[in-house]
Amino acid sequence: MRKLILALMLTLPLVSFSQEWADDNKLDEILNSTNAFGDDETTIVVIEFWAKFNEANAFPDWDKLQDVQYFRVDIGKAAKAKKEHRVRMAPTIIIFKNGVAEESFKAGLDLECPVDLGELQEAIEEVKTANAF
C-alpha cells in the first residue's frame, strides 16, 4: 500500500493540463462547427496565435480561463489562419463568439503578451453578454 501511495505522489506533479493546438484545418473545424443545442448556447473560443521564437511571451494563464475553449495556433504551421485573421505579431489573442471574431489583443513591437488573465477574462465576459436579450 505504501508503494502505491508513493507512486501516486510521485506522478501527481507530472499531471497537468494539456495545451490544445490547432492547425489550419482544425481551426476551421473549431470555428465553423455548429452547436447541436441550437442558438441559445453561446460558444466562446479563445485562440492564441503563437510563435516558437517568442514562446517566453505566450499567454501563461490559459489553464485558468473559465467557460471557454482555448487553443493555440503555431503561426509557422498555419499560414492560412495567420493570413485570414491578419496576424502580424505573436502572441495575438482573439476571442470568437459563435465563430465570429469579437475581440482581439495583439502584441506590439516589444512582442510581449498584450493581455493578462484579468483583462482577458473580463473581455470574455463582455463578449458573452453582448447582444444578450
Percent of the chain residues topping a pLDDT of 70: 77
Cis peptide before 91 (omega within 30 of 0): yes
Q: Which residue, chain included where needed, has cell 463578449?
A: 127
Q: What is the pLDDT of residue 39?
A: 52
Instruction: At 12, list the grid cell.
Output: 501527481
The mean pLDDT value of the chain amounts to 83
Say if residue 127's pLDDT is above 90.
yes
pLDDT of res. 31? 87
Would you list the DSSP string of 69-85?
Answer: EEEEEETTT-HHHHHHT
Overall size of the chain counted in residues: 133
Look at residue 119 and tell me whether its pLDDT is greater than 90: yes
Tens digit of pLDDT for each residue in 56-114? 999 999 999 988 999 999 999 999 999 999 999 999 999 999 899 999 999 999 999 99
